């Protein structure tokens, strides 16, 4: 069975400082991994995805994530936070190339302060 | 792409009533998914269709829930005899086989 664990339910950063949202995964097969963002009262938007190509994945809005098989991690980072980054972030795993069932983590609420 | 469209966006219903949600996927997307999200949790998979065929159903989908995609385009999710525990956001998503899954903005259900 596949699963993801988001290690922090809430993260607070100051505008202009780096963001780190942590995610560990468990999968029986080679996983596809994703980060989705959800702004209040909005749908889920794909930030980036890893599908067994380059281990450092660049996404939208300056976000990137690194797949580390030895650590079973897929942490999301951004060099400099912006107020508009405040949202809920979900780490997601799929075992079948992303075409089938997605398993979501419980989410990390990112707060960005002035 | 016009995006995945869901209707209604919000529904308040009395316990025991039936409700139906509609989802219009991105055109030419052959796969359509339903997820449920409760407050403070990540979305949970309910079911998915490839064209008109329902290929997988979660054990979360009790016999009060039924989903259809009769012509392989739009889909409906019906909940019969609603219970307070059904209160959640119901998310629809679509994709081409093996490609990125795109989500709609969800349909909020409140059962009172």
Cβ–Cβ < 8 Å for A12, A113: yes
pLDDT at B75: 98
pLDDT in tens, B70-100: 988 999 999 999 999 999 999 999 998 877 8
Residue numbers of chain B with a pLDDT score lower than 50: none
pLDDT at A40: 85
Residue numbers of chain A with a pLDDT score lower than 50: 97-98
Q: Is the minimum CB–CB distance between B26 and chain A shorter than 8 Å?
A: no
pLDDT at B1: 53
pLDDT at A98: 45
Spell out the domain ranges in chain A. Answer: 3-108
pLDDT in tens, A26-58: 987 778 899 999 998 788 999 999 987 788 999
What Rg, from alpha-carbon coordinates, does chain B have?
13
Contacts of B95 in chain A (CB under 8 A): 98-99
pLDDT at B61: 87
Interface contact flag, A100 B103, Cβ < 8 Å: no
Q: Is the minimum CB–CB distance between A3 and chain B shorter than 8 Å?
A: no
Please name the residues between 11 and 50 in chain A that touch chain B, using a CB distance below 8 Å.
36, 41-46, 49
pLDDT at B100: 86
CATH H-level, domain A3-108: superfamily: Immunoglobulins (2.60.40.10)
């Amino acid at each position: 069975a596949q699963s993801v664990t988001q290690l922090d339910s809430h993260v607070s950063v100051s505008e202009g400082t780096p963001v780190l949202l942590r995610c560990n995964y468990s999968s029986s097969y080679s996983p596809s991994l994703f980060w989705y963002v959800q702004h209040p009262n909005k749908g889920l938007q794909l930030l980036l995805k890893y599908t067994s190509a380059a281990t450092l994945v660049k996404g939208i809005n300056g976000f990137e994530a690194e797949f580390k098989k030895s650590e079973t991690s897929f942490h999301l980072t951004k060099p400099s936070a912006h107020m508009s980054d405040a949202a809920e972030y979900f780490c997601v795993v799929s075992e079948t190339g992303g075409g089938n069932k997605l398993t979501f983590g419980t989410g990390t609420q990112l707060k960005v302060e002035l | 792409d016009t995006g995945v469209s869901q209707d209604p966006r919000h529904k308040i219903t009395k316990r025991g009533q039936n409700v139906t949600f509609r989802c219009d996927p991105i055109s030419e997307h052959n796969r359509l998914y339903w997820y449920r999200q409760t407050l403070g949790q990540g979305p949970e998979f309910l079911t998915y269709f490839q064209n008109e065929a329902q290929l997988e159903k979660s054990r979360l989908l009790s016999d009060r829930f039924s989903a259809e995609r009769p012509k392989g385009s739009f889909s409906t999710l019906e909940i019969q005899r609603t219970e307070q525990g059904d209160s959640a956001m119901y998310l629809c998503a679509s994709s081409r086989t093996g490609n990125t899954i795109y989500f709609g903005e969800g349909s909020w259900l409140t059962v009172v």
